[in-house]
Amino acid sequence: MHRKRSGVAALLLLLFPMLGWASEPPSPEDAPSAPPLEPAAREWHYWMRLEATTLALLPRAGVGDDEGFIQIEPTFILDGGPEFGFNLGAPIRFRMWGGNDGGALVRREDWDTLSDWGQLVRGLLLGSDDAPVGVWFGPLEEHKLLSGHLVRRYSNRTNPNYHPAGGIFTGTLGPLYTQAFASDVLGARLVGAEFSLDVEHIFFGQPEKGGRYTLALSAVHDWGRAGGHAPSMTLAHLDAMAIVVARSDLEAHLLAGWGGRPGEGSAWGAVVGGGVDYLTDRFNMRLRLEARRQHGGFRQGFFGADYELARFQAAGPDGVPLADADFPDGYSAFGEAIVEWDAVSYGGPNKHLNVSMGAEVFSWGRADVDGRVAVQLFERCLQVSLKGLAVGAGKPGARYLGAAEVRWRFLGGKLYAMGTGGTLLFPTAEGTLRPGAFASVGLGVDHVR
């Protein structure tokens, strides 16, 4: 199964800034082309960008203050090939009006904790999935911990006042493949690891293609101390996976697993399902379908797209943190689809069409859906991105968020205009979530060598 995340793709896909729910995949004009597979010598590429925009943070539902900023955002990227690269930069927001932080020139909430300084590192890559050890630092967007039954589609930047840098470690030692991550390398927050054992390797020696039959154990713990205090949580999961179809462009697998909350025998869950990966030069498709059972408050994908908000206040009428929320016993069906298409086979991560969507429907009437769609038109001069989240749909206290962005490149692609807007939720000192909205327009210029 295509389980290992490409380090280069991870770096390139996360080069761009985020404000809460505003984020966009990069375009080919923004990043250098991938170097040859076996270059005679290391090739270095760099990219510089400067954006100047206006940003308005607006009240919603009659709650909150109206704030305005001039946002200056410099970025510098150095690409040293498939095993080294970094991306530095962060938005600096100068206040124009509003706010209750004593008239500070720069928005205080962007830099008031140690974790916020992690936003200066948008990407640092050391090693790769093909190397015995790989390390990556930067924001986490739609992150999945290998099997994805504890951490799936997770973002560490959903809270608009919290800007941590996450870290991902991958390592291979004989039949053991390990992935570990931290959502905040400068604070005590979400940490986890999954250990995947290649069963075929153990009994028959190293196979030509590893990972066909695996047993995996994962565990995740949230310390709950950075980005606002919230209850801690620990979950664990055991998975078995077998690839039943293996071709150069197609893989299909079956899986089964069981998980729970250590120390609480009544909190457990089970899952069975499968998936298909179809990967070509121009078209990629990854499909997952699972049947799940939840009991005693445990659920698969606990650390998901909504987690950085739900850890303070879960969707629903009770208004309590997710760790304390009552989650009914029942069954669910989960599906995920990731589709990428590009008219030109240039080998990079940017596509004319990029769709990512996950949905889970529960037997007791609840539905959770999140997704992202990005398209590039008119010879990649126009890019439109949409993103949405619905948690607890069909029940009281459901949560909905959305964002949209448009970028138009002109003058040979080096200059671009952009506009973005959407909805946000701001955690408060009382542990509640204050609704808000944002809107931004501006210009940017970049240079690639």
pLDDT, tens digit, for every residue of 34-79? 444 455 567 888 899 999 999 999 998 777 788 999 999 999 999 8
Half-sphere exposure for 280 (CA within 13 Å, toward CB): 6
Taking alpha carbons only, the member of 403, 438, 430 closest to residue 66 is 438
Question: In 411-434, which positions are buried (b, 16+ CB within 10 angstroms) versus exposed (e)?
Answer: eebeebebebbbbbbbbeeeeebb
Mention every residue, 6+ apart, whose C-beta is less than 8 A from residue 399. 306, 309, 315, 389, 390, 391, 392, 425
CA distance 348 to 12: 9
- In this prediction, residue 412 carries a pLDDT of 82
Whole-number Å distance between alpha carbons of 263 and 327: 18
pLDDT tens track for 283-320: 999 999 999 999 999 999 999 999 999 999 999 999 99
H or E segment at 10? helix 7-13
- Residue 40 neighbours by CB under 8 Å, 6+ apart: none
The torsion defined by the Cα of 232, 233, 234 and 238, in degrees rounded to 10, comes to -160
What is the Cα–Cα distance from 4 to 27, expressed in whole angstroms? 23
What's the pLDDT score for residue 170? 95
What pLDDT was estimated at residue 245?
Answer: 95
Token pair in block for residue 299:
């659920």
Tell me what pLDDT residue 10 has: 40
Name residue, tokens 């698969």. Answer: 300
DSSP 80-141: -STTEEEEEE--EEEEEE--SSSS-SB-GGGSSSGGGGGGGEEEEEEE-TTSSEEEEEE--S
Each residue of 254-270: pLDDT tens digit? 999 999 999 888 999 99
Reported pTM: 0.88
Given a cut of 70, whether residue 1 has pLDDT beyond it is no
State whether the Cα torsion 300-303-307-311 is positive or negative.
Answer: positive
Average pLDDT over residues 376-394: 94
